[in-house]
Structure 1
């Protein structure tokens, strides 16, 4: 029996002109894992992609309707993804055709990062910085 982990409690969300293409790209180029995709024809109504080291994103197709309750435009998102494997993810992203905006570099606060752009125009920064510890 496989062990289940709790789902993230904050989900960055994206809209895409080619949601199926974006899903393939995020899986192939960055290493996200497809959790679920609900759709029909060329439209993705809802998709969830998990990040292997924790967290995930949700996405769907653009809906050009006047009463769209979630009117996000493609390419308007930026996400920071924590990984202990920055150089490996960078190599995979390059091989997968990602546009590298900033190659791997070391920050003055101890993180190793790089930034890439997906085919829809969204920015993705990958790095080792996990955020400041929280007070309990």
Structure 2
């Protein structure tokens, strides 16, 4: 059973959901629309993990390239990287091998938040 759920804020939750699905391969677990048609809460899944998205501003200053918000374990880092790059994710660190046996890369989403992907599974 999961016990930790990262929560990320986006000015346009629907656009974030669309980008995270197409670039990083997330699937929609739940979407809760407001009466005006905007999304007030979303839950996206990747494997056994979930992240929650809600409306709100992105931090005023753009996060540094090494300021990762969420780490996601993936099976094939190179294929995942190519998918993200192909749909316009800004790759801030190309795939690389770590000294602890993981293969990782990092990319910004459309709102500027940095995500880290790798083969390491805690």
* TM-score category of the 2 structures, normalised to the smaller one: 0.7 to 0.9
> CA deviation digits over 1:71-98, x for unaligned, max 9?
xx42567100011111111011011110
Query: Does residue 95 of structure 1 match 2:86?
Result: yes
TM superposition score normalised by structure 2: 0.86
RMSD (CA atoms): 1.5
> CA deviation digits over 1:90-117, x for unaligned, max 9?
0110111100000100001110000000
Query: Does residue 54 of structure 1 match 2:48?
Result: yes
Mind listing any 5+ residue stretches in structure 2 that lack a counterpart?
none
Task: Verify the 8 A CA contact 1:83 1:126 in the aligned structure 2.
Answer: yes
Query: Does residue 82 of structure 1 match 2:73?
Result: yes
May I ask how many residue pairs the two structures share in their alignment?
Answer: 114
TM superposition score normalised by structure 1: 0.78
Pick the aligned partner of 2:40 from 42, 45, 52.
45
For residues 38 and 8 of structure 2, what CA distance do their matches in structure 1 show? 14
State which drifts further: 101-110 or 32-41: 32-41
Mind listing any 5+ residue stretches in structure 1 that lack a counterpart?
1-5, 63-72, 132-136
